[in-house]
Amino acid sequence: MFAEGYIGIAGLIGVGKSTLTMELAKALNFEPVLEEVGGNPYLEKFYGDMKTYGTIMQVWLLNHRFRQHREFVSRISMGKIRGVVQDRTIWEDTIFARMLNQHSDKIISDMDYNTYLDLFDNMVLRELVFPQLLIFLDCRVQTCIDRIRSRGRNMERAIEPDYLKSLQENYYQFIEEMEAAGVRILKLNWETFQPMSEVVRLVHEYSLKPSNFTKWVRPLRKMGMENKANLPDKVREAAK
């Protein structure tokens, strides 16, 4: 299921999502939905101590974005607004959780990651809808680092290039998963900002392309060794 008039902007930290969200929403006469960076009570603490605050921050973000998602989908369906352009969709929250779970320090443990995915699944199966179009902004990690430094947010000073490289790899995997689910994806090289007239043209072009939406595919859970021992060989290999 997807919502007409729902456009998502995806990409790395610092790539330029917020700027495009505002400008594209204005051009389409849609409502912008921005990340409330200042309202996140865990963000600064997370960058200072990822191990302690990784799980709770992901749960907070999921809850916050879930509330946002329900509100604007309801307003679109009731005709109160034409549509929205959202800076980072709720679907992207799983990227960060997965990356933190895959980290060598296990910033999010397997048990916490499984619980997070269960929570996400419960929301997805009941409430969430895909965007009409997902715009993926891509550029070099160093370009993102330069843009992060230029905007001067103190809490982002601790972001390391390796963190963004890992995030970028997970984003590429995420985009493949969304394409496999039938979501329309518009990939833009955002090494330099493109003219808004060209972005609007591409949005209209891609929004008319056919989509074959499928159900959400439940990600594999992390399993303890004691549970793996009871699985068939093929399933055990897939669970690694």
> Which pLDDT value is given to residue 228?
45
- What is the model's pLDDT at position 121? 87
> Residue 48: what pLDDT?
87
Residues sharing a CB contact under 8 Å with residue 89, sequence separation 6 or more, in sequence order: 8, 10, 65, 69, 131, 134
**CB count in 10 Å sphere of residue 223:** 17
pLDDT at 112: 96
Which structural domains are found in the chain, ordered by start? 2-238 (3.40.50.300)
Counting as low any pLDDT under 50, the low residues of the chain are: 225-240
Distance from C-alpha of 6 to C-alpha of 21, rounded to nearest angstrom = 12
Supply the residues annotated as catalytic: 87
What is the structure's pLDDT at 1? 62
* Cα within 13 Å of Cα(80), Cβ side: 8
Length of the chain: 240
pTM: 0.85
- Give CA 153 to chain center in angstroms: 21
